[in-house]
Amino acid sequence: MTEKIFRRRSVSRRTLLSGTAGLLGGATLSSGAALAQNTAPTSTGAAGNSPPSPRYPDPAWLALRQEQIIEPELEIADPHHHLWDRPGHRFLIDQLLADTSSGHNVTETVFIECGSMYRADGPVEMKPVGETEFVNGTAAMSASGQYGRTRLCRGIVGHADLRLGDAVVRVLEAQIAAGDGRFRGIRHSVTWDASDVLSRGRTNSPKGQMYDSTWRAGFARLAPLKLTFEAWLYHPQLPDLADLARAFPQTTIILNHVGGPVGIGPYKDKKGETFAQWKVGITEVAKSQNVVVKLGGLGMTFGMFDFYAREKPPSSTDLETAYRPYIETCIAAFGVNRSMFESNFPPDGATSSYPILWNAFKRLAAGSSAYEKAMLFSGTAKRVYRLA
């Protein structure tokens, strides 16, 4: 490829991704109204975690960066990935296997809800059960051993609308049944920001969602069923999560993507201020022992870094340097027994390939003891999601 051709293509990529910044993490609203809760996502990407166009991910661009696998024997339980079949982008068992079989020792994974394969018919509140039915089928395929030794989707996290209050228990019980022993919890996104640049996702969350009494009545139904809660929010909402965690100390809460530091819209060009605010929030949330943090999600396009817009993908060393302040802050606050590295694929595929990302995490953990590495890469995930 000539330099002239390369630059023309890379500029096109920058224009494309910059113009749709945040769609990978559900961070940019489409021109239409936000999707209603419990409806299947459309091709606009407004549903959260949707790819911005058929050009994402860009395999040719990702292939420009190749590295030797670091510590190939270190066990990894990937606690956060998705599966979907959407216009212009398919990420199903074949694509997931291509990533988990790319050199690292990924022994098992956990699927996290993304509005995939909802039921087309029936009561609206029960439609998310279709996602669990679909993913459980993928897990059963993997459990046959026909697709290799990695046990895909060994844990499943689905969705239930907590705004149903006490009535959500019926949905939760249906999800548990559909998971056939694999269902572990729910994610009800609570992303909200005053800026209309940032999406409220499929749930169309209002301000202060986590304080709502009916929503909390639904939340109270999780612990008795031994279900966890995945907290997906933006960094200014961390104090709200801290209050929720204190109010429900018996419920295990998993904070997604290091607490969602935002780098677009009103937060653009305010990285120092954002980091300081985020750190205060993380420190407060970590005081509640029932909260666990996922170390990842920093490669999405609404975040603090623009690697996805560059002419060549970052190296694992580049990612290590960029991500270190966030990862080290989280580990210092939560400890290794409440921290776990995550891939967040395919959304983080906007920034790097799967093997490059895990190389970066291994570089970040280079000075850790064998025990600390074991917890960060597999032990915490196995315990929290009951994978053993």
Three-class secondary structure assignment of 117-175: CCCCCCCHHHCCHHHHHHHHHHHHHHHCCCCCCCEEEEEEEECCCHHHHHHHHHHHHHH
Residue 26: predicted pLDDT: 40
What is the rounded distance in angstroms from the CA atom of residue 358 to the CA atom of residue 36? 35
277: number of Cβ within 10 Å: 17
Residue 146: pLDDT band with limits 50, 70, 90: very high
Length of the chain measured in residues: 388
Instruction: Give the model confidence (pLDDT) of 243-282 as tens digits.
Output: 999 999 999 999 999 999 999 999 999 999 999 999 999 9
Instruction: Quickly tell me which residue has 């970040």 as its tokens.
Output: 364
Residue 57: predicted pLDDT: 74
Residue 56: predicted pLDDT: 62
Instruction: Give the model confidence (pLDDT) of 76-132 as tens digits.
Output: 999 999 999 998 899 999 999 999 999 999 999 999 999 999 999 999 999 999 999
Residue 361: predicted pLDDT: 98
Are 91 and 82 contacting, i.e. CB atoms less than 8 angstroms apart? yes
Of the candidates 266, 191, 195, 186, the residue with the CA atom closest to the CA atom of residue 221: 186
Residue 199: predicted pLDDT: 83
Residue 316: predicted pLDDT: 98
Residues above pLDDT 70, as percent of the chain? 86
Instruction: Give the model confidence (pLDDT) of 25-77 as tens digits.
Output: 443 333 222 233 444 443 333 334 433 433 467 899 999 999 999 999 999 99
Cα dist from 53 to 41, 58, 127, whole Å: 14, 10, 26
Instruction: Quickly tell me which residue has 């709502």 as its tokens.
Output: 212
Cα dist from 230 to 156, 181, 271, whole Å: 12, 19, 26
Are 297 and 50 contacting, i.e. CB atoms less than 8 angstroms apart? no
What is the rounded distance in angstroms from the CA atom of residue 233 to the CA atom of residue 116? 20
Residue 358: predicted pLDDT: 98
